[in-house]
Amino acid sequence: MIKYLNGYSWLEDEVGDETAEIKECLEKKLIKYAYDKSTAKFLVLESNIPAVKEILGNDYSKLEECTISQWLDNDFYGMYEDLEIKNIYGNIINIDINTVCGLVSDEEEVYFSNTDKLKIYNAECPAEELKSFVDKIGRQQAIMQIEALLDSVRGQEFK
């Protein structure tokens, strides 16, 4: 559905601007920035990859082509603080970004439908939209941990 393309700095000319080929891909809306114009990181619909490859030629092989889960692993892993849930007694449940990245890596299609992927692609800032999905997955994991704790509490007695 979509691919994340990490281009590092080879996508810039000698003065730091995008190459003519990248500009052409952007103008034809074959790729779009994953973050903002200051990064050489793009998203592409899989259906546009042949056209992008044709325009970029051999330079396409310099790109790191990634799935959403690989994008998370590359750019999000360890980047955010834990999602922390604390009750009135100070008990804490932590969900860290690395756990969420691991879950998505194992089963990307479970966590991101094609509709979700298109929503990420079509967002003004796809990286921010992806982050909102990660937040949602983290909250779901916290709820599952709380429910598991509740299940273990039911029927308990003082000994």
- Tokens 């000698």, located at residue: 14
Q: What is the pLDDT of residues 67-94, one digit of tens each?
A: 998 888 888 776 777 778 887 888 887 8
Q: Do residue 99 and residue 43 come from a single domain?
A: no
43 and 80 share one domain: no
Tell whether the model's pLDDT for residue 128 goes beyond 60: yes
| Residues 84 and 141 reside in one and the same domain | yes
In a domain? residue 105: yes
pTM of the predicted model over 0.85: no
Answer yes or no: do 80 and 58 share one domain.
no
Query: Are 14 and 77 part of one and the same domain?
Result: no
For 42, the domain range is 2-66
Please name the residue ranges forming H helices in 28-125.
49-56, 68-71, 97-106, 108-111, 114-122
Q: What percent of the chain has pLDDT over 70?
A: 93
- Tell me the pLDDT tens digit for each residue of 91-107: 887 888 888 888 888 88
